[in-house]
Amino acid sequence: MNRVEHRLEPLINVQQVISLLDEISLFGALEQGQQYDIFKKLQQVRYNAHEMIFKQGDQPSHIYIVLSGRVRLVFDAENHPLSKGEFPPGACFGETSVIGIQTHSASTIAVEDTELLVLSKEALMEIFDEDKELFARLMLNIAREASRRLHQTDELLLHYIHDHE
């Protein structure tokens, strides 16, 4: 699957994006001014159906938010791709790789024509320099989301172990 360079575009519809940020746990408990500060740092990118967004092992560059379309998460274990799930509109992904400074543990592919909001790693560091309180809230929200996902994975693993005893 070939990857194509995509052009990042500025956002235009403030109200649409701000109302979406209200629904995303990563941006929970932000004040209106902080949401607007995030909005100013977001960009938009489009992918066609079946295009790869990033590949397992790539260096992380952005936090992604699905604006429209769907994105599939795929793990490639020894050339045996395993689809793990899909991210619908409003879902966020890539954040743990960005803050963990580690390569992506899975690949992501647009299931259909997809529009994403992206927050670059550089923009995240600008927030660190400009507004420590906002940065701290984002990090706490990312940690909570990572913990929630880890808990779900633990539950699945325990269920699997219990079923195969």
What residue segments make up the domains of the chain, in order of their start? 9-163
Say which range, 5-14, 33-42, 142-151, has the weakest mean pLDDT: 5-14
Query: Does the global pTM surpass 0.85?
Result: no
Domain 9-163 class, CATH top level: mainly beta
pLDDT tens for 1-18 read 445 567 777 666 777 777
Query: CA-CA distance, 54 to 144, in Å (whole number)?
Result: 24
pLDDT tens for 104-137 read 988 999 999 999 999 999 999 999 999 999 999 9
How buried is 61 (Cβ within 10 angstroms: 0-12 exposed, 13-18 middle, 19+ buried)? Answer: middle
